[in-house]
Every structure is written in C-alpha cells, then in structure tokens.
Amino acid sequence: MSIKNIKKESKVPRTVTFTEAMMLLIIIVGIMIWTALIAKVPTAMGVLYCAIVCAVYGIVLGFKWNDMFQNVLNVVKTAMPALYFLMLVGFVSASWIASGTIPYMIYLGLKIIHPSIFLVAAFLLTAISSMVTGSSWAIVTSLGLALGGIATGLGIPLHIAAGAIVSGCFLGDKWSPLSDTPNLSAASTGQDIIKLFTNMIPTSGLGAILAAVGFLFLGFLLPSSSNADTSVINQLMSGLSQNFNFNILLFVPVIFVFVMAALKFAILPVLSIGVGMGMLEAIIYQGKTFKELTKIVWNGYVSNTGIEVIDSLLSRGGAMSIAGLVMLLFAAFTFAGLIEKIGVLDAIMEKLLKVIKGTGSLILCSLITSIITVFLSSSVYVSIILNGRMYEKAFKARKLDIINLSRTITEGSAYFGGMCPWSGGALLVISSLGVAPWSYIPYVFGCWGALFFTILWGYAGKFLLKADYDEYGNLIVNDIKAIAS
C-alpha cells in the first residue's frame, strides 16, 4: 500500500468552528425565511434544502456520506413509534367526527357563550376544538373567525378577543396528542407523545388555568352590549344539531382513551380500540355504513352541512391527512441527523454552556433560544428540530430526562408560531381576524402563563423528571415519581 493511500484512509474530518456554525445557522435561517415568506412552498422543502447545505458542507469538512447518512438513520429510528402514532391519529380524528363525538364537544362549548364571560368562553371553546381536531390553523379560520364577529357584536375590542382566540387555538396545537407540533417535538427527541402530554400538565395545564382566570376577570371589566347579536352562535348550534344525533354516550371513546392512557396502557392498542369505538358509534347513532367509514378513516371526513364555518371545521382527519406531516418528519430527521453529525450544534452549545450555571438557567436558555429561533426562521418546526438536538447532551449531563427538553422547546416555540408577525400562523391570525400585528400579543395569556410556570419549575427544581444515562448517553433508569415532586 502506498503512502498516499495510507494518508487518504487516515484522514479525519475537521471539527466545525463556532464561526462556521453560526454562518451555517444564518444560511439555514435565510432558507427558511425564503421558504415561508417569499417562495411560499411547503416547510418540508425548506428543511430539505437546509439538509442539502449541511451535507455539502459536511463533505467539505471531510465527512463521508455513509457516516452522515448512518446518523440520519439513527435519528429516524428513534422516531418510528411516533410515525405509527400519527397514522392512528388520522384514524381517530376522522372516526370521532363521523361518530358525532367531536361535533358534540363543540356544540356544548357554544352553549356557554355569554357576553360577560365571552373571553373565557372563547378561550375554552377554541382550546377544546383545537385539541380534539389537532389543528390551530383550522380553528382560527373557522370558529375563530366566527368568534371574532361575535366579539364585534358584543362590543369587545377585537385585539383582546384575538388574544383569547389565539390562546385557545395554539394551546390545543401545542398540547394535543393529535397535533403535529408536539408530535414533532416528541419524535425529534425520541420521546412518547403521551408522556410529553402528561409532562406538560404542570406548565400548559396550570398556564391554561391562569389564562382562564385572567380572561374571566378581564371579561367582567370590559363593557359589552346588552343588544348583542348572537345569531352566529345559534346558526352554528342549529347546523350541528341538525346534522348529528347527539347523546352523552358519544363521550365514551374519549373517556376510554384518556383513562387507559392515564393507567399507562400501551397507547397504540388503546387508540386502535378508540377508533373502533368511534366507528361503532358512527354506525349506531349517525347511520354510517362500514363501507363509508372505511373511506372516511382513510381519506378523512367531509362535512356537507352547507354552513361554511362548520364544513371548514369538520372536514378533516383520515390517514392521508398526515401524509404531508410524515414527509415533513422525514425531512426534519434528515436535517437533524446531518447538522448533528457535522458538529454544528456542538459548536454552538459549547458557547452556551459557558453561561449556563444550573438547571434553571438551562431551562431558561433553551426556552429563550426556542423563541428566538421561531422569530429568526419564522418556523416552529425548525425551532423544535434545532433546539431539540442542540440541548440533548446538556440535559443528560444534568441527569434530566429528555422529556423535560421536549416540554421546554414546545412551550418556547408553539405559541410564537401564532405571534411572530412574519410566521404563517400569525399571518393567518392577522388576516382572518382583522387585527394589527403585535396588538393582540399582550393578551395571549395562555402563552405567558405557560412560560411563567416553565421557568418557575426550572429554577425551583419541581416537576422535572430525573434520569441516569451511561457514558454513551443511553437511558439507564428514570425516576417516574419526580414528575409529581
């Protein structure tokens, strides 16, 4: 073997510098801004372009493609359970709409609308609706739009009403097991979505209670019209009741799934049974045939009530509805695996660790960078991917279960997708509700409450699941009791 060949085989990839890492990050941010605001192409394409940039620079640094791609496969492997879960999520939402379960929950929510409690009612109704549908954008453009009109009729300032609507819509978006945001967060850190949902009770749950109290108090302070037009509410309720047969038994699938999940039963079989229960109730109470339901759970439910708001709200679900999200996940994991392998995140984290002195500052720092990343990239997805991979070693070093990281980056990114004026979610809010950018942000109580509790528990050391890891970063044991400490 020649000396030339020996040198070629022994070549070691060069470590990326902090300056190079920041330059790559700026390029990535630029690509995502172009994707979202200029080209207006799917987020997955922007993420793939970012992955290509990282791959090319990795080769320049001396990395072999096979080594980089192997790291991509390692990341994808951790996310496979989430992909199976997402498929079932599509089945759940479609079957529960067809059965009347989700329409009945919305119907009952509309019954509580009253001028003096409009803000808290709007918050709770949009939160419930977005949690059971898994889509904040759909609720903003349908139910949110209707509530905006009702607020105008009641004499409630529209920017304050928008704060309540955004609080509810994006609470469901970040906390619903049916939503893409928490599923991406859980998958990108190799966690279970139900475990993440449970772990967010001390932050999102308490934050929601705080927000509800705030909206209730604010509602009584605001003047309202005694001659308010509530015809929109009556129209929606009438449309739902005329197209579905409602009864209390429609709640059985929901109760079953939540109880079984709370009892720590395996979530995939539980969801499968929940789908079956929904399909059975659709046959019994809504007169659907098994053939119809088979098409519905695959392609999604299509509402034909003739009322635009209801049809927009209920036409969703099905296995095919998550096809785009699955493609986004694969693009995200490719990007995460490549950017992690070439050392970009390690270079940035090395600098951050110099200012992180304890668990509280680690939580705060990861929260702040998650928020900043949303504003820089105009993408919640990019924020979750980058921060999820970047802080993993730091959380493990402090013997914190990675579920704490999943919770923190979700709390720091999801709401700001509806508050950053140049992000897709916020642009949708501004155009749908007719409010000025920034005007409603102080009144998004759900966001501020969740952030408050996330920081509080971080510094207090409460509600943080502990874990031990071996020298390779593999989980040895976690303390399930720590979550209730």
User: Looking at the predicted structure, is the pLDDT value of residue 427 above 90?
Assistant: no
Phi/psi at 400 (5° precision): -105, 130
Given this model, what pLDDT does residue 459 score? 95
Q: At what angle do helices 359-377 and 445-460 cross, to 10 degrees?
A: 150
Q: Which residues contact 24 (CB under 8 A, 6 or more apart)?
A: 16, 53, 54, 57, 339, 344
CB-based contacts of 261: which residues, under 8 Å, 6+ apart? 194, 267, 270
Give the residue with greater pLDDT, 354 vs 50. 50
User: Each residue of 305-330: pLDDT tens digit?
Assistant: 888 878 877 888 888 877 777 787 78
Tell me the helix, strand and coil percentages in the chain, rounded to 5. Answer: 75, 0, 20
Mean pLDDT of the chain: 84
pLDDT at 2: 52
d(CA 331, CA 342): 17
Residue 451 confidence (pLDDT):
96
CA atoms within 13 A on the CB side of 323: 8
- In tens, the pLDDT along 130-178 reads 887 777 877 887 778 778 877 876 778 889 999 999 999 999 888 888 7
Over residues 413-424, the pLDDT tens digits come to 999 989 988 777
Contacts of 149 (CB under 8 A, 6+ apart): 232
Distance CA 171, CA 437 (A): 20
Which pLDDT band, with edges at 50, 70 and 90, does 473 fall under? low
Dihedral angle of Cα 183, 186, 191, 197, to the nearest 10 degrees: -70
What SS3 state is found at 392?
Answer: helix
C-alpha–C-alpha distance, residues 154 and 228, integer Å: 5
> Nearest 5 degrees, angle CA 112-CA 90-CA 164?
30
